[in-house]
Amino acid sequence: MSGDRADGAVRRALSALRHDPPAVAGMLVLLLLAVVGVAGPWLAPAGINDVDVDRMLQAPSWAHPFGTDELGRDVLSRVLMAARVSLQVGLVSVGIALVAGVTLGLLAGWYRGWLDSLLMRVVDVLFAFPVLLLAVAIVAVLGPGLRTAMIAVGVVYTPIFARVTRASVLAVREQVFVRAAVAIGTPDRRILWRHVLPNVAAPLIVQTSLSLAFAILAEAALSFLGLGVQPPAPAWGRMLFDGRGFVTEAWWLGFFPGAAIFLTVLAFNLVGDALRDVLDPRQLTLGEARRNPA
């Protein structure tokens, strides 16, 4: 019963996104990004590492809409292929953080006591480090590369999901339906899976959408520093690094990958903010009160 009620609330909230123009725009950008990430090899007009020194540093034109870089490679093709890398890093790293953080938060919020204190102190230690500094330290230990970048970003965002889950579990565990399930002897695993987790899904959905934006930014920062995706593979952050020396004579080298990062992060933030508004119980209650005044 509790799970069905939570699912219904989430469905009603998500349907409200259709009436939010910024959220719709953000979802359209994300849909386009997903299409580009999947179909990038077929959409790219040239090979990502096709070197042509006779065409190096050409300005945007019909032949090369985003221009060419210092090696004559087509910038549009590299930007399109880098979208797949950013999506992969965002989804995998946030997936790692979501699974690990939700597990820690459920255990800490449900069992409380010494386990809660131990897990939350570990989370506090991770929170004490700046996100990018901790990610750089992890990559420095494991070695640069796409896989280590995903692990590092996943680790640094795990505490956020752990905190959000724990706070929600502390509120849900006092609800009548949870107490009733405990009273009749329902196993903890079943209670957490069938009753608690569905009722803490709303804030996790919001946090996931926002964390995807920050994960893509973190990956771009790591690639810019040379700790993420390694050349010759394309990555938006690495393309920004390569274009920093050509700002005056070849502005397009940094502009287009920077614009791709900007639009992607903005789209995730727009969708995340809209989800936060429609999934916030206080906002839902206010909306119902306005529709049904006393």
Give every CB contact of residue 226 below 8 A, 6+ residues apart in sequence: 144, 238, 241
Q: What value does the mean pLDDT of the chain take?
A: 85
**Distance from C-alpha of 206 to C-alpha of 157, rounded to nearest angstrom:** 14
| Predicted local distance difference test score (pLDDT) of residue 287 | 44
| Predicted local distance difference test score (pLDDT) of residue 289 | 42
Please give the model's pTM, rounded to 2 decimal places: 0.83
| Predicted local distance difference test score (pLDDT) of residue 294 | 43
Using CA atoms in the order 176, 178, 179, 180, what is the torsion angle rounded to 10 degrees?
80
What parts of the chain have a pLDDT lower than 50? 1, 3, 282, 284-294
Domain boundaries, the chain: 2-291
| Predicted local distance difference test score (pLDDT) of residue 284 | 46
DSSP result, 183-249: HTT--HHHHIIIIIHHHTHHHHHHHHHHHHHHHHHHHHHHHHTTSSSPTTS--HHHHHHHHGGGTTT
| Predicted local distance difference test score (pLDDT) of residue 16 | 66
CATH class name, domain 2-291: mainly alpha
| Predicted local distance difference test score (pLDDT) of residue 288 | 45
Single-letter amino acid code for the residue at 137: A
| Predicted local distance difference test score (pLDDT) of residue 68 | 92
